[in-house]
Structure 1
Amino acid sequence: MKDPNKFTGLIVALTVIACWFTSLCLLLNWHFNWTNPLVYLTVLIQMHLYTGLFITAHDAMHGTISTNKTVNNSVGYLSVFLFAGFFYSQLYTKHHKHHRHVHTADDPDYAEHGFWKWYFSFMWNYVTIIQLVIMAVAYNVLKVWVAEQNLLLFWVLPSLLSTFQLFYFGTYLPHKGEHDNEYQSSTLRKNHFFAFISCYFFGYHLEHHQKPGTPWWQLYKSKG
């Protein structure tokens, strides 16, 4: 008999990608009015869906999307490329380096001296010239069919905002300062709803380092 939970990780991953794609298509074709408050709410929703793309790729890096390695990695490649033209293999190497050398000079996610220096160091470690070229080409191709204001507001801006969301809740808050555990991590003290909307439960960061094989949608169960 087949395990009914075998495909849950894949279903969750594909649902996140589908929600992002459907939302983006609708927003890029929306003849909106700047005075409509829903415009700004949808930017935040799209930001959250972008964060979901990256979290999906992160789950793939820990092999939690599918037991089939090809399927698992393919979803990871797709998710992170859709996020901002990243290459999964490069992120995979750096992310596992973070887990091996957390809070040290060899940790690509760690920097000392304040939020902004840390953020720009974080971005510098991950953004590449080829990625910027890919995004520039994609932007110029898309604007042939899509209004430029829609591209900027619903495609460019949410992805940029998402980097702040991912960095602040998934790296900066959990790892800043000194900690009394081997993972040099803290955990979010607020409720599960806030933990989900802030960064797909990755505020529960100590729990993630303790159990890296736990997918994001199960991570709340590890919370003590």
Structure 2
Amino acid sequence: MVPEPTPHPASPDPWGVVLALAVLGAWGGHLAWLLAGPALPWASPLPWLHVVLQMWLSTGLFITGHDAMHGTVSRDRRVNAAVGRVACFLFAGLSYRRLGVNHRAHHEDPTGEHDPDFSTRTQAFWPWFGTFMVRYTTWPQLMVMALKFNALLWLGVPQARILAFWVLPSLLATVQLFYFGTYQPHRRPDTPRMAPHHARSLSRNHPWALLSCFFFGYHWEHHASPGTPWWRLWRVKDARR
């Protein structure tokens, strides 16, 4: 059983499973088309637009796993955990249980000495990102990703396509999630508006909040109401105003 990182609503939104499956399906369907579909002209913007779309869907994949950690995907704990495990595994071979433990520690002590996401050594973006990746990357995860890569090669997918449409969007999504979900919200110095969660938030702009990181940039609101799923954070933002 994965420990709940924060209190979750007694009755999660019934749209939770529907939207989770929609994100999973869009991510998988678009990736399958990119890997096995027609050749795309690299001299045109089209393939790069697909890379950006796949990056955004990969971000949504992780956000789905994150919401499962908060118990907001399904009323049924087994369904909730199953969706979370699948989303985290597909995103980067991540351990749902390990992420749940670390995420609970983050919510209990944001930017404190027991926060696994925070860097007390540096606030510079890339060194902090490097520290973050070292903390979260494991040998089993690397083995899973290597097996996935080789399985795609065995199925006949050209290596260039795997790198361009699977590896690159996943890496870009990792940077995107770190920037909007860790660095930008929690970097120091703290300001009075960050209290009591040591978290800042994007300015109110719902379309940009969705496109940038599935509303995860409304991060003060997420810490204030961790039982609110990503598709309802805009309401918490409006209520705060």
TM-score tier, shorter chain, comes to: over 0.9
> Corresponding residue for 2:180?
169
Distance in 2 between residues matched to 1:206 and 1:65, nearest whole Å? 21
| 1:28–1:150 CA contact under 8 A, matched in 2 | yes
What is the TM-score with the length of structure 1 in the denominator? Answer: 0.95
RMSD: 1.1
Structure 2 residue matching 1:34: 3-state secondary structure: coil
Match among 106, 129, 154 for residue 119 of structure 1: 129
Distance in 1 between residues matched to 2:227 and 2:164, nearest whole Å? 35
Q: Out of 148-157 and 117-126, give the one that drifted further.
A: 117-126
| 2:187 maps to 1:179 | no
| 2:61 maps to 1:81 | no
**Deviation of the 1:33 alpha carbon:** 2.1
**Deviation of the 1:123 alpha carbon:** 1.1
| 1:66–1:72 CA contact under 8 A, matched in 2 | yes
| 1:174–1:206 CA contact under 8 A, matched in 2 | yes
**Which amino acid letter does the alignment assign opposite residue 120 of structure 1?**
G
> Corresponding residue for 2:8?
none
> Corresponding residue for 2:4?
none
**Deviation of the 1:190 alpha carbon:** 4.4
Structure 2 residue matching 1:143: 3-state secondary structure: helix
Distance 1:42 1:215, change over 3 A: same
Unaligned runs of 5+ in 1: none
> Corresponding residue for 1:34?
42
Structure 2 residue matching 1:183: 3-state secondary structure: coil
| 2:238 maps to 1:193 | no
Distance 1:190 1:83, change over 3 A: same
Distance in 2 between residues matched to 1:211 and 1:217, nearest whole Å? 13
Following superposition of structure 1 onto structure 2, how do residues 11-160 of structure 1 map, counting pairs within 5 Å?
11-30=18-37, 31-112=39-120, 113=122, 114-144=124-154, 145-160=156-171
Distance in 2 between residues matched to 1:6 and 1:136, nearest whole Å? 36
Unaligned runs of 5+ in 2: 1-11
Higher RCO (CA 8 Å, separation ≥ 6 residues): 2
Distance in 1 between residues matched to 2:159 and 2:182, nearest whole Å? 32
**Deviation of the 1:78 alpha carbon:** 0.1
**Deviation of the 1:179 alpha carbon:** 3.0
> Corresponding residue for 1:203?
217
